[in-house]
A and B are shown apart, each in its own frame.
Chain A
Amino acid sequence: KQEVTQIPAALSVPEGENLVLNCSFTDSAIYNLQWFRQDPGKGLTSLLLIQSSQREQTSGRLNASLDKSSGRSTLYIAASQPGDSATYLCAPHSRQLTFGSGTQLTVLP
């Protein structure tokens, strides 16, 4: 059974900082891994999808990396903004997507 851990559980940073969110998973036999963003009381928005054959994927200020053999992924956010405040979840896709509990990010103006 896939288990997903996200560290830290919560993070508060001043605006403009670069930051890294971590995700680890126990079953490395995955097809892909997605990173999602969730605003309070809202659904999830897919940010990036990394296929198992890829090492990283970029979208704007976001960069996600994947080390499938070690069961790790990171989400790098450059030049953080208050609008980035949300909960970020990673979800490796083995038999099904399994979600971590998320990192709650607060970017202070």
Chain B
Amino acid sequence: GQQLNQSPQSMFIQEGEDVSMNCTSSSIFNTWLWYKQDPGEGPVLLIALYKAGELTSNGRLTAQFGITRKDSFLNISASIPSDVGIYFCAGLSSGGSNYKLTFGKGTLLTVNP
């Protein structure tokens, strides 16, 4: 089946630093999504990317949809303690009227105040 390789697995940074994480796939996706999951909660959508080459921002978050449609990255600028959590990339593929999300294994982000 489809697999997403997300890296790094974990990051430990100081408050105020920028952080970058990325996701690659052997398959092409039509849409890339980035989610954040806090402990004990379900994932929450941060950014959705719909076109190859698209660069989208949401506050301090910036994400890009790779030209090959097989990769995406997420940047967080000027990190703050509440950025702590697990970040997941997800690729959306479709077959007819059925849509399927495939998730990466996540990047655990720890921010030291």
Partners in one complex: no
Query: B residues touching A (Cβ–Cβ < 8 Å)?
Result: none
Query: A residues touching B (Cβ–Cβ < 8 Å)?
Result: none
